[in-house]
Structure 1
Amino acid sequence: MALTIDSQAKPVPAPPWRRLVAIGAVATTLGGCVTFTPDGGMSPVSAEVSAAIGKDTVKIVSSAEASAVQSRVKALLTKPLTADGAVQLALINNRGLQAEYNALGISEAAFVEASLPPNPVIGVERLSTGGSLDIERRVIANILALLTLPARSDIARTQFEAARQKAIEATFRTAAETRRAYYRAVASRQTASFLEQARVSADAAADLTRKLGETGAAKKLDQARASSFYAEVSNELAQARLKVSTDREGLTRMLGLWGADVDYRLPGQLPGMPRIQTAQQVEVEAIRKRVDLIAARLELDAMAKTLGLTEATRFVSMLDGGWRGNYERSTVDGVRESSSPRGFELEIQIPIFDGGEVNVRRSRETYMQAVNRLMEKAINVRSEARAAYLTYRGSYDIARQYQNSILPLRRTINEQALLEYNGMLIDVFELLTTARESIATNVAAISAKHDFFIATVDFETAIIGGGSSAGSAGEGPVVTAAAEGGVN
């Protein structure tokens, strides 16, 4: 239902263009001046990424930047990739990450749009019936949109800051996933290389046993066991080679490579074990640094501001004001007459059926839903940080135990078993059993080392964000501030 009020004004009003200038001046005063940043909001993202993980990131927006990135990619591929080199390559060449940066640019456009006043509407109407002519001119501005412009601009600014944090989180996530893919690919390659050596030894043992069988020095059972051992190792090698191919493709996708660039080189084995990192109050660090929590806090701030705006305008859902000028011409008894009545028009929607309570209740429930999800996420983040550190420390101890104790003992067992076999103290069955156990132990040692490096990545992402569980779809906005104050 709309109420229209017309008022005649005797003084000649100012021309419409002057009213447009006045409206623009008022809107500028209310909303302030917001312009696009030169880099689409990427400077804070690049600074945070560089400070946290020591890597560069870039948003490709021109052919020159694309050429520069391609040249850098070629330079990184000239030598075998390290874990850090793979991460750096992914941060500048992964197209999925570039799409996240485009989302940041879209958010900036929404922020600039929200800070601009609504465009006025100019209407001209011409009616001619019989001998009369009626020309109506209108200039209409959304007064409610002008009055709420500062609040809407502030909300959009907060949402833009949240989008920045999400872009940082996406960068951390790309870096973490690339490291995981790198360690998987290298560990698979190392396992396949070890099994290749084991197969050579198994082949030699099977060939020797077969020759001994031809002379009668080896039983048929021993020949069958040696041949079976060779076949089993060959089958394990085939499985390992398949895993090498699939894990390498997973890394290739993270690096964003195709064509001739997919022939990059990887080292033959995982790097040496680093020194263990000591950490204190890991959950406090996670609550303070996790970028997904920072983004959620900003989203909740924006939601709170939106709720305040909803309550402030609950009784006025449409308020338009404007200037109207009519020109009428008619012919009476052959004499042409004209008049130009002037006035203004104001339309207000009357809240008879919906007094705004629906929007207010919806906003309050949405806000409390976000707060409760925050509390859940804050507890989960603290637990994730503790669990990630325990896994990191435990996997380090396991991998060290393999390197310092189990593998040296296994080498001693292999040497002694070979000596006893040569001295005819044990048979082929015991020698082959020892070889099988040795292969299993070495593969397990590689796997333990791989698990440690993956745990290192998981521990780092549990502190700064970008892990597999951070920012998962379906979670509503949550906030760090409430977590710090309400969850102990």
Structure 2
Amino acid sequence: MIAVAVTLGLGGCASFSPDGGMLAVQTASSEVLGKDVVRIRSEEEAVQSRERVRALLATPVDAETSVQIALLNNAGLQASFAELGAMEAESVSASLPPSPTFSLSRLAVSRELEIERQVLINVLGLLTLPRQRELAEGRFRQAQLQAAETVLRLAADTRRAYHRAVSSAQIVTFLEEAKAAAEASSDVAKELGETGALNKIGQAREHAFYAEVGAQLAAARLRKAADRERLTRLMGLWGADIKYRLPAKLKPLPNSAKRAGEIEAEAVSKRIDLEIARMELDLLAKSYGLTRATRFVDDFELTGTSQYDRAFVDAPGGGLDKDTAKWRGIAMDFQIPLYDFGESKTREAEERYMHAAHRLAEKAVNVRSEVRQAYTDYRGTYDIAMHYQKEVLPLRKIISDETLLQYNGMLSDLSQLLIDARERVASNVAAIEAKRDFWLAATDLHVAVVGGGVSDGVAGRSTAMATGGGDGAGH
């Protein structure tokens, strides 16, 4: 009974946190992203979140607004928070002492009655409970970091989707203007051809340019629809809410790029996935200590037994006489690994610890490499986008204006005007994509420092230089 009382007393120490572990997630979101994140548990909370989302959708959605909407409205994120709650329940359960097992039996035969009562306590579980509780709490803190990493990943994915959606829409707008101009030029070429002022090859070139721009516009509209739908999914929108408005253009480039500074050291200290790996190694170290402490005894159970026997015998003068016996005592059951004395169990723990240690070392090296690559991409895309903005587009405008003047003055033919028009379209599209790539690289750099999933960098994007070179090289 003393053992039962101790078990019940220890069990009273374990409890659920008032916020379900969300405080750590909310703190990470606020400090790293400057955004609010909530867990929706009731209909009232769902209504409040919905009203806030609709208020954010009332104005054109920028990058920061799209991230906030995703953090409030993404159902997948809420599922991750529910998983965090389940992990807390597992943690509380793992930190509780082993429940006692009660056994009661009654055996009767002829004139004999036997009653036996047993209480079974896992003594080894009680002795190792403080360490088990420490491990359970560590696992829960690790789950909190994983939930925070999910928040960071959703924010980064939403930013990337936003920049792609806006750039796709901007390209569509530009190509629509180019198509309108090409259509007008094609109509003029047709009229000139009817009067004999323009030969067939000149007419064909004008019509071909108009057809090419139309094909580019059709492809751009498909890209625009796909990019917008991806952003819509990440923000968790449906119904009338999918008619949200986006800005007409990407945000202007900053006046200067960030300096590299100590980004490697900052990433090693801040990366949330690296912190999760460190915690995993610490938990394995504690678990390894527990394994060494219990290597010679796998299971140890204490049984308190109370047995009561009663027999009925015939009395000399008639009737029955009761002969009663009572026994009380304890029984111990434990298992000893006779064949290897726990060596295999200990060796497994050591190897798993070394596996985690090497993985942590590998991740630290990879984090440094990822942040260097991310900064290289960031700086390179900034220089490319600024080059298009300050050099390529102004020169294209000069060439276009001069070519038009020469054409009007009969100093150049129509073919040169068409070549210039094609190259101008390609350069403007490439400039938009270069600016998009910079903002994607800026997102990737932030992710490389704090965590949340690292992208493939420049290799994962269609580079502006490739786009511009491909279109211009063919004419």
Query: In the alignment, is residue 85 of structure 1 matched against residue 65 of structure 2?
Result: yes
Counterpart Cα distance in 2 of 1:311 and 1:20: 27
Amino acid paired to 1:461 = V
Contact kept? 1:161, 1:295, Cα under 8 Å: no
TM-fit CA distance, 1:338: 2.4
User: Larger deviation: 272-281 or 381-390?
Assistant: 272-281
Counterpart Cα distance in 1 of 2:115 and 2:414: 110
Counterpart Cα distance in 2 of 1:19 and 1:95: 46
Query: In the alignment, is residue 287 of structure 1 matched against residue 271 of structure 2?
Result: no
Q: What secondary structure, in the 3-state scheme, does the structure 2 residue paired with 1:55 have?
A: coil
CA deviation vs aligned residue, 1:149-180 (integer Å, no higher than 9, x gap) = 00001111111111111111111111000000
Amino acid paired to 1:126 = R
Contact kept? 2:7, 2:99, Cα under 8 Å: no
Equivalent residue for 2:185? Answer: 205
Equivalent residue for 2:367? Answer: 381
TM-fit CA distance, 1:110: 2.1
Counterpart Cα distance in 1 of 2:178 and 2:8: 80
TM-fit CA distance, 1:353: 2.8
Amino acid paired to 1:24 = L
TM-fit CA distance, 1:196: 0.4
Equivalent residue for 1:186? Answer: 166
Query: In the alignment, is residue 442 of structure 1 matched against residue 422 of structure 2?
Result: no
Equivalent residue for 2:331? Answer: 345
Q: How does 1:115-194 map to 2 (within 5 A)?
A: 115-194=95-174
Query: In the alignment, is residue 70 of structure 1 matched against residue 54 of structure 2?
Result: no
Query: In the alignment, is residue 322 of structure 1 matched against residue 303 of structure 2?
Result: yes
Amino acid paired to 2:117 = R
Q: TM-score, normalised by structure 1?
A: 0.90
Q: What secondary structure, in the 3-state scheme, does the structure 2 residue paired with 1:133 have?
A: strand
Equivalent residue for 1:480? Answer: none
Amino acid paired to 2:452 = G
Q: What secondary structure, in the 3-state scheme, does the structure 2 residue paired with 1:80 have?
A: coil
Counterpart Cα distance in 2 of 1:244 and 1:316: 65
Amino acid paired to 2:220 = A
Query: In the alignment, is residue 459 of structure 1 matched against residue 439 of structure 2?
Result: no
Counterpart Cα distance in 1 of 2:326 and 2:263: 76
Q: What secondary structure, in the 3-state scheme, does the structure 2 residue paired with 1:388 have?
A: helix
Q: Of the two structures, which has the highest relative contact order with CA contacts closer than 8 Å and spacing of 6 or more? A: 1
- Which residue of 49, 52, 55 corresponds with 2:32? 52
Counterpart Cα distance in 1 of 2:321 and 2:332: 35
User: Larger deviation: 401-410 or 125-134?
Assistant: 125-134
TM-fit CA distance, 1:469: 6.2
User: Larger deviation: 96-105 or 49-58?
Assistant: 96-105
Equivalent residue for 1:296? Answer: 277
Query: In the alignment, is residue 311 of structure 1 matched against residue 292 of structure 2?
Result: yes
Counterpart Cα distance in 2 of 1:320 and 1:19: 12
Contact kept? 2:385, 2:438, Cα under 8 Å: yes
Residues 446 and 469 of structure 1: is their aligned pair in 2 closer, same or farther, counting only changes over 3 Å? closer
Counterpart Cα distance in 2 of 1:294 and 1:351: 36
Counterpart Cα distance in 1 of 2:86 and 2:343: 32
TM-fit CA distance, 1:288: 0.7
Counterpart Cα distance in 1 of 2:111 and 2:363: 74
Contact kept? 1:195, 1:237, Cα under 8 Å: yes
CA deviation vs aligned residue, 1:420-476 (integer Å, no higher than 9, x gap) = 111111111111111000000001000100000000000000100012369xxxxxx
Contact kept? 2:3, 2:121, Cα under 8 Å: no
Residues 22 and 181 of structure 1: is their aligned pair in 2 closer, same or farther, counting only changes over 3 Å? closer
Counterpart Cα distance in 1 of 2:233 and 2:4: 54
Amino acid paired to 1:288 = S
Equivalent residue for 1:366? Answer: 352
Q: How many corresponding residue pairs? A: 450
Query: In the alignment, is residue 108 of structure 1 matched against residue 88 of structure 2?
Result: yes
User: Larger deviation: 351-360 or 287-296?
Assistant: 351-360
Q: What secondary structure, in the 3-state scheme, does the structure 1 residue paired with 2:69 have?
A: helix
Equivalent residue for 1:9? Answer: none
Contact kept? 1:156, 1:302, Cα under 8 Å: no
CA deviation vs aligned residue, 1:300-345 (integer Å, no higher than 9, x gap) = 1111100110111011111111211112122334544222211111
TM-fit CA distance, 1:33: 2.3
User: Larger deviation: 266-275 or 140-149?
Assistant: 266-275
CA deviation vs aligned residue, 1:36-72 (integer Å, no higher than 9, x gap) = 1111111122112111121111111122211110010
User: Larger deviation: 138-147 or 273-282?
Assistant: 273-282
Residues 210 and 141 of structure 1: is their aligned pair in 2 closer, same or farther, counting only changes over 3 Å? same
Contact kept? 2:116, 2:306, Cα under 8 Å: yes
Q: How does 1:326-337 map to 2 (within 5 A)?
A: 326-333=307-314, 335-337=321-323
Residues 175 and 22 of structure 1: is their aligned pair in 2 closer, same or farther, counting only changes over 3 Å? closer
Q: TM-score, normalised by structure 2?
A: 0.92
Q: What secondary structure, in the 3-state scheme, does the structure 2 residue paired with 1:341 have?
A: strand
Q: What secondary structure, in the 3-state scheme, does the structure 2 residue paired with 1:134 have?
A: strand
Counterpart Cα distance in 2 of 1:373 and 1:296: 8
Counterpart Cα distance in 1 of 2:82 and 2:262: 36
Equivalent residue for 2:259? Answer: 278
Counterpart Cα distance in 1 of 2:202 and 2:420: 15
Counterpart Cα distance in 1 of 2:330 and 2:25: 50
Equivalent residue for 2:4? Answer: 20
Query: In the alignment, is residue 402 of structure 1 matched against residue 388 of structure 2?
Result: yes
Gaps of 5+ in 1: 1-15, 471-488
Counterpart Cα distance in 2 of 1:465 and 1:174: 11
Residues 22 and 91 of structure 1: is their aligned pair in 2 closer, same or farther, counting only changes over 3 Å? closer
TM-fit CA distance, 1:104: 1.9
TM-fit CA distance, 1:266: 0.9
Q: What secondary structure, in the 3-state scheme, does the structure 2 residue paired with 1:267 have?
A: coil
Contact kept? 2:131, 2:290, Cα under 8 Å: yes
TM-fit CA distance, 1:354: 4.4
Query: In the alignment, is residue 250 of structure 1 matched against residue 230 of structure 2?
Result: yes
Counterpart Cα distance in 1 of 2:259 and 2:170: 29
- Which residue of 392, 410, 418 corresponds with 1:432? 418
Amino acid paired to 2:288 = L
Contact kept? 2:448, 2:454, Cα under 8 Å: no
Equivalent residue for 2:461? Answer: none
